[in-house]
Amino acid sequence: MRERMKKVKSVQYPQHEISFILNGKKVSCKTKGSAVLLDVIRDVFELKGTKPGCHEGECGACTVLVDNVPVNSCLFLAVNADGKNILTVEGLLHADGTLDPVQESLVQNGAVQCGFCSSGMAMSLKALVHQYENAHPVAGEIKKGIPSRDEIKKHLEGNLCRCTGYVKILDAAEKLFLNNE
């Protein structure tokens, strides 16, 4: 048995050294070229808040922010995270332990049932908040006013939830912006 284990360790995959900012801290690790960010976050850095709902880029449960843009971390190659700023759901929580307004709004509006989609939802919403508070990372502009319900829907299209029927998630998003106004 022991010999077998040795053999396993000797299997060589081409490794890449990557460094990035993870939830505000500089981190680095070795990874295979084919590894996706989701697995690196969960298995290397042991941050289990980012969920694998499908591993195929269809459900949004694995959403994280890469330089403030929401991405499906199950499709995003870890090597492409090199030099980037990554925010996961664990990084949303404020240093003093209080909830980010996005999280608070989801909780207060009853937008959470089984919770498996919730961290992805929170991250997608955080990205929307960014677009209204900071320069839009892609378009380079700050959006004015507050998003309409239709715009919120468009933004959350890629986040599936099987429990809530989305109503309370939309309510949470709307109230979030109303309170921010």
Residue type, 122: A
Residues 105-164 that bind another protein (CB under 8 A): 106-108, 110, 112-119, 122, 153-154, 156-157, 159-164
Q: Which does 71 bind (CB under 5 to 8 A by kind): ligand FES, another protein, none?
A: none
CB of 3 to ligand FES, least distance (A): 37
Q: Is 7 among the residues that bind another protein (CB under 8 A)?
A: yes
Identify the helix (H) or strand (E) that includes residue 31.
Answer: strand 25-32
Q: Judge contact between 169 and 106, C-beta under 8 A.
A: yes
Under the criterion CB under 8 A, does residue 99 sit at the interface with another protein? yes
Among residues 131 and 159, whose Cβ is nearest to another protein?
159
Q: How far is the CB of 61 from ligand FES (least distance, A)?
A: 5
Sign of the four-CA dihedral 40, 113, 154, 122: negative
With CB cut-offs between 5 and 8 Å by kind, which of another protein, ligand FES, none does residue 138 bind? Answer: none
* Residue nearer to another protein on the CB measure, 85 or 108: 108
Pick from another protein, ligand FES, none: which does 47 bind, CB < 5 to 8 A by kind? another protein
Interacting residue ranges for ligand FES, rule: CB under 6 A: 52-55, 57-62, 72, 74, 112-118, 161-164
Sequence-separated contacts (24+) of 101-104 with Cβ below 8 Å: 101/129, 101/176, 101/179, 101/180, 102/126, 102/129, 102/176
Which parts of 15-44 interact with another protein (CB under 8 A)?
none
Residue 99 tokens read as: 């909830």
Q: Cα–Cα distance between 48 and 43 in angstroms, integer?
A: 8
Of the pair 59, 89, the CB lying nearest ligand FES is at: 59
Q: Is 45 in the site for another protein (CB under 8 A)?
A: no
Rounded Cα–Cα distance for residues 168 and 161 (Å) = 11
In the three-class reduction of DSSP (H, G, I as helix; E, B as strand; rest coil), residue 97 is classed as coil
The residue type at 13: Y
